[in-house]
């Protein structure tokens, strides 16, 4: 059956379904009479096959070998899959225009920092594709980085920290709070800590940070005290993880569970600000700076690769600047 005949059959079928009393033979003759001067071809509807998902898998495997953390790999996968869900083309045919349209679309509903993060990930992905000779031209070369909104990193005051301490209802809550403040650990680093990692006599432990880099963090007297109390209470639980759930099967506490515990403490304290694990990390850095610790030491404590990241904390201590100003410039 050629295309003209196929169209005729479909039209006759449609028309007689809508108007049953019509004579099918007459309709067919009319259509054939009209189409006799035309040649009909079907529209080409073959799908353009996107290979982004496949290339992202290879990219993530490469990054994993390079030592990228699980959280970094998750973020790469999430953002690149969103990109692939918007642009249905083979990677070698993606143009600068395609990417600009995508970024214009996401920038309508995202902050500068979010868009900057997307650009950074896309640059990394397409540079890798170019280095692996999977694409001929890198479309991200013409995409400029955008300025991130620089905000002063807020922290808790000493009084607010003490209020959180006093508001803890369980030993585990206090141990979580003291561990976060004492070590300055990132949440992902804390989740992976095991009991055997702690060197109690030295008050320290090694954690694995970003890029699978290992560093030493420290436990102050309060952290050691409440951790030992907590471990005494849960000594019947045979799980190597430092922090575990309070109910059977006593699984290792994950990111969300620890965030919920910190939120509970903040609610009980009645603080009118968002309190989360990373805020305690900022607090560690800010209070350490106020106490006289050097930026270099804070950099090593927090595991910052660049001193510029730690330098941000020096900009947060406005109260110290004010005191210094009063001391030296108001005479």
Report d(CA 327, CA 313) in Å as an integer: 22
Report d(CA 321, CA 305) in Å as an integer: 26
Catalytic residue list contains 10: no
Q: Which of 89, 215, 252, 278 is catalytic?
A: 278
Catalytic residue list contains 278: yes
Q: Which of 281, 282, 300, 327 is catalytic?
A: 281
**Neighbour-count burial of 296, counting CB atoms closer than 10 A to its CB (0-12 exposed, 13-18 middle, 19+ buried):** exposed
Catalytic residue list contains 210: yes
Please name the residues in contact with 14: beta carbons below 8 A apart, sequence gap of 6 or more: none
Catalytic residue list contains 88: no
Q: Which of 172, 174, 186, 282 is catalytic?
A: 186
Please name the residues in contact with 259: beta carbons below 8 A apart, sequence gap of 6 or more: 187, 276, 277
CA distances for 237 relative to 175, 231, 249, 252, 280, angstroms: 17, 9, 9, 11, 28
Report d(CA 27, CA 12) in Å as an integer: 7
Q: Which of 153, 165, 210, 228 is catalytic?
A: 210
Catalytic residues: 186, 210, 278, 281, 304, 313
């Amino acid at each position: 059956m050629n295309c003209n005949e196929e169209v005729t059959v479909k039209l006759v079928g449609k028309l007689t379904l809508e108007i049953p009393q019509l004579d099918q033979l007459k309709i067919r003759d009319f259509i054939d009479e009209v189409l006799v001067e035309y040649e009909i071809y079907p529209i080409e509807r073959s799908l353009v096959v996107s290979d982004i998902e496949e290339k992202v898998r290879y990219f993530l495997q490469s990054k994993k070998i390079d030592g990228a953390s699980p959280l970094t790999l998750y973020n790469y996968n999430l953002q690149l899959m969103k990109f692939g869900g918007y642009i249905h083309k083979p990677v070698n045919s993606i143009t600068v225009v395609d990417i600009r349209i995508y970024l214009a679309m996401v920038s309508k509903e995202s902050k500068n920092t979010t868009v900057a993060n997307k650009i950074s990930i896309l640059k990394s992905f397409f540079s890798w594709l170019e280095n692996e000779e999977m694409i001929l031209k890198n479309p991200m070369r013409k995409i400029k980085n955008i300025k991130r909104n620089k905000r002063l990193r807020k922290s808790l005051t000493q009084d607010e920290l003490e209020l959180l301490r006093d508001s803890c209802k369980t030993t585990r809550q206090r141990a979580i709070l003291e561990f976060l403040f004492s070590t300055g650990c990132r949440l992902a680093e804390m989740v992976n800590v095991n009991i055997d990692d702690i060197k109690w006599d030295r008050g320290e432990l090694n954690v694995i940070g970003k890029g699978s880099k290992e560093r030493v963090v420290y436990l102050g007297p309060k952290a050691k005290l409440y951790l030992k109390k907590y471990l005494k209470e849960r000594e019947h639980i045979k799980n190597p993880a430092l922090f575990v759930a309070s109910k059977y099967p006593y699984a290792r506490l994950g990111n969300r569970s620890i965030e919920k515990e910190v939120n509970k403490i903040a609610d009980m304290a009645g603080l009118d600000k968002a309190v989360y694990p990373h805020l305690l990390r900022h607090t560690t850095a800010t209070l350490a700076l106020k106490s006289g610790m050097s930026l270099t030491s804070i950099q090593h404590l927090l595991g910052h690769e660049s001193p510029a990241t730690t330098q941000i904390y020096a900009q947060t201590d406005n109260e110290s600047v004010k005191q210094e100003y009063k001391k030296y410039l108001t005479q």
